[in-house]
């Protein structure tokens, strides 16, 4: 009910302001002569029930059925120091301090920035595009949202347990660690940020970022509870205006300490996630295309037969395009595929999670510069889980200032 | 005859006239061959600079854009003399994109004018407008390139960049030539006005803020100041 009411409220205010020839505020709030700046965005998305849990970021919330309100702010102390943060409210349920960090530029004229705190993601590009207007569609790419059956607080004792959970990442459970069913891990999460230190520098068309954080790509944390830091880096090159090439790599421990403590003493206690990513963006005139690939590998201990004798791998590839065919109107599409490597169980050899293919086609119409109405149709295919095929239409209203 | 697209502007301006400061007075000894109108627009309202949205997702400090001059106003006759609408001239104007700022922030033109939008930055810009008077999208183009749009209908056109949300500007399109944009000191001058009584409006930062009635004599000029609060 909250979702529908919020959607209708946002629609009513947008349409009435447009009809009256007025506009909802489009500029951020500023105080203290521009030293304090506050922006915000609100997005209300509606879609039929996602019975296959293809779009869930956790057990309760689908990215196609949510109201998200965010307030971001920056406080600039001087040329060298700023503090930035963001609060988010999802479905009117809880207020989350999504980001809070200090940005230090020791030498104001040099391209060297140090960010400390709950920092923006270093890996990939979508996690920084996830903000309303930068995402041309309503759904999130599989690599940054889809829940595999792996968990940070629970681990399968053998390959059969893992194969049994194929396509059930929205609510998986294993026999070692936390026995309660809970959501699995995405390859890279777009729903929370990690905590640590990040350094970015650049020279001409090249930018390099490196960070050390408490969590991992799939399981970011505020506090380090397993003693294993993640090291992550990213390089971007802009050889010509409009073309951005990016490459990312990360390595970190993803399991919670409670899981490590629950393991037999003889087990290997290292739960390492390694990931590599490459992305491309090219835009010109009324076109923009992006491509993104993520390869992730999780190492989990072998506990019982039939043992999981190799690292668990997942690969995601996506390509999306947007074309503005009329002032204020655009069409967009994304095609993507998520695959997993094969492991041997007692009775079968199969991918350790069910591969997913997704196509999303949609478009947007700007009611005013900062109010966008979007529609999309998303087609999902997955040979596993309770629901194998699901087509989901969705609508979204987005406002930002 | 009144340009229909400016009707709302006029209505709002009439309200603003209640806060008027000065009265029109004839300038003695003015040597203008036709009537002229000149004066100053005193901007007393707070005009905060447009700031970039908080770059929470950025990995580094973004470049500091130039601060647009948001204290410029446009003074114009609400009702132009008869025959003024036939005086359309095919003109050309320019709105630069430089250091993530539109220059000028306010551009006043006559209908039929072609405006060039050159990109002088090392990044892409994407000029667009969703205004009723002119809806357009120039797409993304790089440094050294320029695209143009002809503005045929009178009205107010808000111009934005699709990539840089802090970039915005105004283009005021008139059906006559009796308008002027204030200079850095707030001064304006409109020449060659046929004698008669007119309503004059001072527009600033998105809306008409002040409105006056003025009589232009057969010879000489009139000085008319505005206060925008």
Percentage of chain B beyond pLDDT 70 is: 82
Q: Are residues B158 and A120, on separate chains, in Cβ contact within 8 Å?
A: no
Interface of B with A in 77-116 (CB under 8 A): none
Domain boundaries, chain B: 1-44+69-85+180-229, 88-175
Q: Are residues B54 and A368, on separate chains, in Cβ contact within 8 Å?
A: no
Element (H, E) at A334: strand A329-340
Give the per-residue pLDDT at B6: 43
The 8-class DSSP code of residue A56 comes to: B
Q: Which residues lie closer than 8 Å to A322 by C-beta, 6 or more apart?
A: A136, A287, A288, A289, A330, A331, A332
Cβ–Cβ under 8 Å, residues A253 and A292: no
pLDDT digits (tens, 9 = 90+) for A190-230: 989 999 999 999 999 999 999 999 999 999 999 888 888 99
Give the per-residue pLDDT at B87: 60
From residue A133, alpha-carbon distances to A128, A332, A398, B66, B162 in Å are: 11, 13, 8, 24, 10
**Which chain A residue has the Cα nearest residue B147?**
A285
ipTM of the prediction: 0.87
Task: Enter the CATH code of domain B88-175.
Answer: 2.60.40.420
- Interface test with chain A among B6, B11, B61, by most A beta carbons within 10 Å: B61
Q: Are residues A286 and B139, on separate chains, in Cβ contact within 8 Å?
A: yes
**Mean pLDDT, range A100-127, rounded to an integer:** 96
**Mean pLDDT, range A77-106, rounded to an integer:** 94
Neighbours of B208 (CB within 10 A): 26
For domain B1-44+69-85+180-229, say whether CATH 2.60.40.1120 is its number: yes
- Tokens 């709302």 correspond to B8
Is residue A126 predicted with pLDDT exceeding 80?
yes
Contacts of B53 in chain A (CB under 8 A): 28, 37, 39, 72, 400-401
Percentage of chain A beyond pLDDT 90 is: 80
Is residue A116 predicted with pLDDT exceeding 80?
yes
Output the CA torsion A82→A88→A94→A95 (10° steps).
Answer: 20
Classify the C-alpha dihedral B57-B62-B64-B68 as positive or negative: negative
**A72 CA to chain B: closest CA distance, Å?**
6
**Mean pLDDT, range B183-190, rounded to an integer:** 96
**Mean pLDDT, range A129-147, rounded to an integer:** 86
- Interface test with chain B among A41, A78, A285, A370, by most B beta carbons within 10 Å: A285
Give the per-residue pLDDT at B51: 86
**Mean pLDDT, range A366-395, rounded to an integer:** 96
Q: Which residues lie closer than 8 Å to A93 by C-beta, 6 or more apart?
A: none
Interface of A with B in 239-298 (CB under 8 A): 241-242, 283-286, 288
Tokens of A78: 């001087």
Alpha-carbon gap, residue A293 to B15, rounded angstroms: 58
Residue A142: closest CA among A392, A356, A396 = A356
pLDDT digits (tens, 9 = 90+) for A238-251: 999 999 999 999 99
Q: Say yes or no: A209 contacts chain B, CB-CB below 8 A.
A: yes
Q: Say yes or no: B145 contacts chain A, CB-CB below 8 A.
A: no
- Average pLDDT over chain A, rounded to an integer: 92
Give the per-residue pLDDT at A11: 61
Q: Say yes or no: A224 contacts chain B, CB-CB below 8 A.
A: no
Q: Are residues A198 and B59, on separate chains, in Cβ contact within 8 Å?
A: yes
- Interface test with chain A among B51, B127, B134, by most A beta carbons within 10 Å: B51
Give the per-residue pLDDT at B18: 28
Q: Which of A37, A111, A326 sits opposite B60 (nearest CB)?
A: A111
Q: Are residues B49 and A30, on separate chains, in Cβ contact within 8 Å?
A: yes
Is residue B45 predicted with pLDDT exceeding 70?
yes
**Mean pLDDT, range B167-196, rounded to an integer:** 95
Cβ–Cβ under 8 Å, residues B51 and B68: no
Is residue B122 predicted with pLDDT exceeding 80?
yes
CATH top-level class for A2-400?
A: mainly beta
- Interface test with chain B among A14, A74, A100, A371, by most B beta carbons within 10 Å: A74
Cβ–Cβ under 8 Å, residues B158 and B170: yes
**Mean pLDDT, range B20-43, rounded to an integer:** 62
Alpha-carbon gap, residue A387 to A53, rounded angstroms: 9
pLDDT digits (tens, 9 = 90+) for A281-295: 999 999 999 999 999
Q: Are residues B54 and A198, on separate chains, in Cβ contact within 8 Å?
A: no
**B142 CA to chain A: closest CA distance, Å?**
7
Q: Which of A120, A286, A288 sits opposite B137 (nearest CB)?
A: A286
**A39 CA to chain B: closest CA distance, Å?**
6
Instruction: For the full predicted model, state whether its pTM sits above 0.90.
Output: no
Tokens of A279: 């992305």
The 8-class DSSP code of residue A109 comes to: T
Interface of A with B in 339-368 (CB under 8 A): 366, 368
């Amino acid at each position: 009910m909250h979702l529908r009411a919020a959607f209708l409220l946002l629609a009513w205010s947008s349409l009435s302001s447009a009809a009256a020839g007025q506009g909802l505020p489009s500029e951020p709030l500023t105080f203290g002569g521009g030293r304090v700046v506050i922006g915000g965005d609100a997005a209300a998305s509606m879609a039929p029930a996602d019975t296959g849990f293809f779009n869930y970021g956790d057990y309760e919330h689908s990215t196609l059925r949510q109201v998200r309100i965010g307030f971001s702010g920056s406080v600039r102390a001087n040329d060298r120091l700023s503090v930035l943060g963001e609060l988010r409210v999802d479905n009117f349920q809880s207020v989350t301090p999504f980001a809070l960090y200090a940005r230090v530029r020791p030498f104001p004229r040099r391209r060297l920035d140090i960010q400390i705190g709950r920092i923006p993601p270093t890996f990939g590009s979508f996690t920084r595009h996830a903000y309303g207007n930068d995402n041309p569609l309503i759904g999130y790419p599989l690599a940054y949202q889809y829940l595999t059956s792996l968990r940070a607080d629970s681990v399968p004792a053998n390959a059969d347990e893992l194969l049994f959970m194929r396509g059930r990442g929205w609510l998986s459970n294993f026999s070692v660690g936390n026995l309660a069913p809970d959501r699995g891990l995405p390859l890279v999460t777009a729903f929370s940020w990690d905590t640590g230190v990040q350094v970015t520098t650049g020279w001409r068309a090249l930018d390099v970022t490196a960070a050390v954080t408490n969590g991992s790509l799939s399981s970011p944390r505020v506090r380090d509870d397993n003693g294993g830091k993640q090291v992550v880096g990213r390089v971007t090159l802009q050889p010509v205006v409009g073309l951005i090439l990016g490459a990312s790599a990360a390595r970190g421990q993803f399991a919670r300490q409670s899981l490590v403590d629950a393991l037999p003493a003889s087990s290997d206690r290292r739960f390492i996630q390694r990931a590599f990513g490459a992305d491309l963006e090219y835009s010109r005139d009324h076109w923009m295309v992006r491509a993104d690939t993520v390869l992730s590998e999780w190492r989990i201990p072998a506990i019982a037969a039939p043992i999981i004798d190799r690292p668990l791998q997942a690969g995601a590839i996506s390509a999306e395009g947007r074309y503005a065919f009329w002032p204020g109107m655009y069409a967009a599409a994304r095609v993507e595929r998520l695959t997993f490597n094969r492991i041997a169980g007692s009775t079968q050899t199969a991918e350790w999670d069910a591969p997913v293919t997704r196509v999303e086609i949609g478009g947007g119409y700007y009611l005013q510069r900062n109010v966008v109405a979007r529609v999309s149709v998303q087609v999902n295919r997955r040979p596993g889980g309770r629901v194998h095929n699901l087509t989901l239409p969705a609508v979204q209203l987005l406002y930002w200032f | 005859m009144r340009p229909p697209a400016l009707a709302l502007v006029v209505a709002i301006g009439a309200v603003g006239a209640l806060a008027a400061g000065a009265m029109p007075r004839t300038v003695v000894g003015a040597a203008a061959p036709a009537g002229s109108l000149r004066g100053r627009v005193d901007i007393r309202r707070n005009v905060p600079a447009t700031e970039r949205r908080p770059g929470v997702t950025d990995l580094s400090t973004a470049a500091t854009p130039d601060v647009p001059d948001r204290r410029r106003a446009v003074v114009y006759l609400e009702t132009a003399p008869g025959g003024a609408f036939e005086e359309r001239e095919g003109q050309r104007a320019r709105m630069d994109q430089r250091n993530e700022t539109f220059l000028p922030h306010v551009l006043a033109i006559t209908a039929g004018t072609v405006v060039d939008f050159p990109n002088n930055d090392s990044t892409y810009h994407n000029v667009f407008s969703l205004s009723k008077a002119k809806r357009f999208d120039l797409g993304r183009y790089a440094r050294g390139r320029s695209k143009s749009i002809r503005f045929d209908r009178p009205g107010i056109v808000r111009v934005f960049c699709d990539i840089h949300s802090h970039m915005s500007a105004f283009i005021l399109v008139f059906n006559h030539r009796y308008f002027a944009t204030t200079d850095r000191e707030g001064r304006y001058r409109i020449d060659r006005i046929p004698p008669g009584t007119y309503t004059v409006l001072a527009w600033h930062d998105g809306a008409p803020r002040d409105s006056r009635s003025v009589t232009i004599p057969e010879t000489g000029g009139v000085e008319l100041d505005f206060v925008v609060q």
